Amino acid sequence: MTTKNDLIKEAWERLEKSIIYYRGQPVGTIAANDSEVAAVNYDQCFIRDFVPSALAFLMKGQPEIVRNFLKVTLTLQSHDPQMDAFKPGPGLMPASFKIELKDDREDLSADFGEHAIGRVPPVDSCLWWIILLRAYTKATGDIALARQSEFQEGTRLILQMCLAHRFAMYPTILVPDGAFTIDRRMGVYEHPLEIQVLFYAALRAAKELLLSDDDNCTCLDAIEQRLAPLTYHLREYYWIDLKRLNEIYRYRGDEFGKEVANRFNIYAESIPNWLSDWLPKNGGYLAGNLGPGRMDFRFFTLGNLMAIITAVACDRESQQIMNLIEQRWNDLIGDMPMKICFPALEGLEWQIVTGADPKNRPWSYHNGGNWPFLLWFLVAAAQKTNRLELAKKAIAIAQSYLDEDEWPEYYDGKKGRLLGKQARKYQTWTIAGFLVANELISHPHYLDLLSYEME
């Protein structure tokens, strides 16, 4: 029988095998190492996928690869303000990069979404980059890196892009569909929770990392001005529990003017039938999205768990989110931690919202599939809320299947019992996520790399 230690050893070996080198230096990890399926772009290093790899390396005392990654991706950041609508705007970080040989010399080649299916923009990459820079700084105590002028400038560029005043008069950022982990059309355009929580975490990280000098003062002021309304907006208006649901149920529609209760004009008829019975009395969560006449009542896991870890959710809300996970364990965890979102879009709704995407058919892939990389987020959130029993239970489930199933990318089915139809095997963030989850249990102080106290 494989013991947990054997599994951890195997996971480390696999993670090390996924490292990519640039001019002799380790700079990232490929997305998957599946020899049976065409790589397409899974042989590239995705910024978001590298996060658990980076955390695992930082926890193991191997920060060099993270440092190199941060440097290399900074050189790839888009800089020039240009009028060409087909080019990435200044500040944007790529979704992924790979190493190419040009005239016998290794070169970096980045994808800002120009090659991606559906041409989706990776808005989360630049936010993760700042969050990771803080984690690296905390783990190593090396503040000099973040203080280098190129790093200060890179951070500023990201913030200038994200804080720019555009059309929407909300403190959240407006993005197109598929701009983050869910990188296909799934009705996650506008103000999806995951982006808003990462935005919050990046703002707080930048506040710590930016020097207070003349170059940064405008940026630091803008961060300060944005943080409080953003936190209020998310805690107050995205929050759903039974009390709030009752308020929405009895909302009046079409209220005009400044001081109205139903400020986003959410109609009670848009509350899905499953919700009132599904919400436990002591549970709650942050909605998937909020905009004019629209509250997305689906539960999105990464956004909710990161909200706990980074203190977007207040202590009471964080406990309620964990209560929900505990009481709806079969739906949200089932046979593999954990569902990327719940519930799935089905029937006509699936056809219209996803554009009848066969990869995202109900209870598959992004549309209600179970993704083992989410394990580390769950463990970190459980630790933050002192609910370790949930973390241990989830790790035990993951441990019993991942190795035998060859570390797949995702699972299908309501309970996550089927190996994902098009899932890659030996998916790096599945492997790294398992390692990080275990490291967090053995060394709880590693939670500091990502967490914040409430402001």
Return the number of the residue (181 or 231) whose C-beta is nearest ligand GLC: 181
Contact window for ligand GLC (CB under 6 A) among 46-54, 263-271, 293-301, 397-405: 46-54
Q: How far is the CB of 99 from ligand GLC (least distance, A)?
A: 17
Q: Is 425 in the site for ligand GLC (CB under 6 A)?
A: no
3-state secondary structure of 74: helix
Q: Select from 42-50, 256-264, 296-304, 317-325 the region that touches ligand GLC (CB under 6 A).
A: 42-50
Q: Is 204 in the site for ligand GLC (CB under 6 A)?
A: no
Distance CA 177, CA 188 (A): 5
- Single out the segment in contact with ligand GLC by CB under 6 A; choices: 44-52, 194-202, 375-383, 446-454: 44-52
> Would you give the binding string for ligand GLC spanning residues 118-157, x where CB under 6 A is met?
----------------------------------------
In whole angstroms, the minimum distance from the beta carbon of 152 to ligand GLC comes to 28
Helical ranges in 238-313 per DSSP H = 242-249, 275-278, 301-309
Looking at the Cβ atoms of 43 and 335, the one nearer to ligand GLC is 43
Q: Name the residue nearer to ligand GLC (CB basis): 183 or 317.
A: 183
Report CA-CA distances (Å) from 100 to 21, 43, 104, 117: 11, 12, 9, 21
Q: What residues have CB less than 8 Å from 217, skipping those under 6 apart?
A: none
Q: Is the peptide bond before 59 cis (omega within 30 degrees of 0)?
A: no
* Residue 46 in contact with ligand GLC, rule: CB under 6 A: yes
Q: How far apart are CA 80 and CA 87, in angstroms?
A: 10
Q: Which of 18, 181, 216, 301 touches ligand GLC (CB under 6 A)?
A: 181
Task: Report yes or no: 295 and 248 within 8 Å, Cβ to Cβ.
Answer: yes
Residue 36 Cβ vs ligand GLC, minimum distance, rounded to whole Å: 16
Question: E-strand spans in 132-283?
Answer: 239-241
Pick from 49, 194, 357, 439: which binds ligand GLC (CB under 6 A)?
A: 49
Residue that has been written with the tokens 């296909």 in this structure: 184
In the region spanning residues 208 to 227, those forming contacts with ligand GLC, defined by CB under 6 A, are none
Q: How many residues bind ligand GLC (CB under 6 A)?
A: 6
Is the distance from CB of 120 to CB of 192 less than 8 angstroms?
Answer: no
Q: Among residues 14, 48, 134, 425, which is the contact residue for ligand GLC, using CB under 6 A?
A: 48
DSSP, residue by residue, 131-142 = HHHHHHHHHH--
DSSP helix/strand/coil, 186: coil
Q: Are 192 and 112 in contact (CB under 8 A)?
A: no
Task: Report the Cα 129 to chain-centroid distance in Å.
Answer: 12
Span of 41-49, 77-85, 193-201, 272-280 interacting with ligand GLC by CB under 6 A: 41-49
Answer for which of 183, 194, 241, 439 binds ligand GLC (CB under 6 A) is 183
Window 17 to 36, contacts with ligand GLC (CB under 6 A):
31
Region of 119 on the Ramachandran plot (φ > 0 left; ψ -120 to 50 alpha; else beta) = left
Residues binding ligand GLC (CB under 6 A): 31, 46, 48-49, 181, 183
